Amino acid sequence: MGVVEEIMLRQSVRFGLLLAGGGAALIYALWFCYRGASGLKTLVKAIPMLAFAVAVWVSFGHPLITLALLASALGDIALSRSGERAFLVGLISFAVAHLFYILRFWGLVGLEGVIALPWAAGLVIIFALSTERWLIPHTEDLKVPVRIYVGLISLMGLTALGLTAVPVAVIGAFAFMASDTILAIQLFRMTEASRLQIPASILLWLLYAGGQLAIVIGVGWAEPLFHL
């Protein structure tokens, strides 16, 4: 196989995996996300981030994005199961994913990018501080890990603010933050019997999967797949 043929094959695989991951994410949102734990649910939930990760890797994308997606896939698998241990594994996995995204964003924008939009940075900081009132008091024995996680997602948001040249990635980062916020409300402030559980689960997953895909499109490679 020649160089041109290999490049074409890798590009075809990349777009095929992105489409497959997006399709699996949609199936999960419409059928599985609000249902109880099962082997099939875990399998379907694991596909999107794994497909995105392989799409980035096979087409010579940035390794930090690949690692973030793999960590996210592990988090998805953990959170598809029930129990506090599974929750902690998921929390740690997504914390690691956010750390990889922070490193990728920081490498693109540096400190100047972080402070490019001071008013937006202020809103992110206010959001982080507000969790001490509406979230942390309800987390019982998980106060410390949840505080660390809030700090990481907020730092990801701050570093993403500098990606003004790639707005799709900014949208993706804040969609990811929004999904985390909905998950926190579901877990710690919403009763299991609430009528809002199902719509919240669907919205959470769409924001999460869509946000991850937007980040991949924007900063998964040296050049974005497209510009808004």
Q: Please check whether residue 41 lies inside any domain of the structure.
A: yes
What pLDDT is recorded for position 4?
76
Where is average pLDDT lowest: 54-58, 115-119, 126-130, 194-198?
Answer: 115-119
What pLDDT is recorded for position 7?
77
Q: Please check whether residue 226 lies inside any domain of the structure.
A: no
Give mean pLDDT, residues 68-74. 98
What pLDDT is recorded for position 228?
61
- Give the gyration radius of the chain's Cα atoms: 18
Q: Please check whether residue 227 lies inside any domain of the structure.
A: no
Give mean pLDDT, residues 6-19. 90
- Report the SS3 class of residue 121: helix
Euclidean distance between CA atoms 73 and 77, whole angstroms: 6
> Containing domain of residue 85, as a range?
3-219
Report residue 34: phi and psi, to 5°: -105, 10
Number of domains in the chain: 1
Q: Please check whether residue 21 lies inside any domain of the structure.
A: yes
- Report the SS3 class of residue 83: coil
Give mean pLDDT, residues 77-99. 91
In contact, 218 and 166? CB cutoff 8 Å:
yes
Tokens representing residue 211 in the block: 């946000």
Q: Please check whether residue 158 lies inside any domain of the structure.
A: yes
What pLDDT is recorded for position 8?
84
Q: Please check whether residue 224 lies inside any domain of the structure.
A: no
The yes-or-no verdict on residue 114 having pLDDT over 80 is: no
The average confidence (pLDDT) of the chain is: 93
Give mean pLDDT, residues 95-116. 88
Q: Please check whether residue 25 lies inside any domain of the structure.
A: yes
What pLDDT is recorded for position 29?
95
Sign of the torsion angle spanned by Cα atoms 130, 135, 139, 140: positive
Work out the burial of residue 40: count CB atoms within 10 Å of its CB; fewer than 13 is exposed, 13-18 middle, 19 or more buried: exposed
The yes-or-no verdict on residue 37 having pLDDT over 90 is: no
Provide CB contacts within 8 A for 70, sequence distance 6+.
49, 50, 53
Provide CB contacts within 8 A for 162, sequence distance 6+.
105, 108, 109, 110, 112, 113, 114, 116
Q: Please check whether residue 171 lies inside any domain of the structure.
A: yes
For residue 103, give the amino acid letter: L
User: What is this structure's pTM?
Assistant: 0.94
Closest to 160 measured CA to CA, from 219, 207, 223: 219
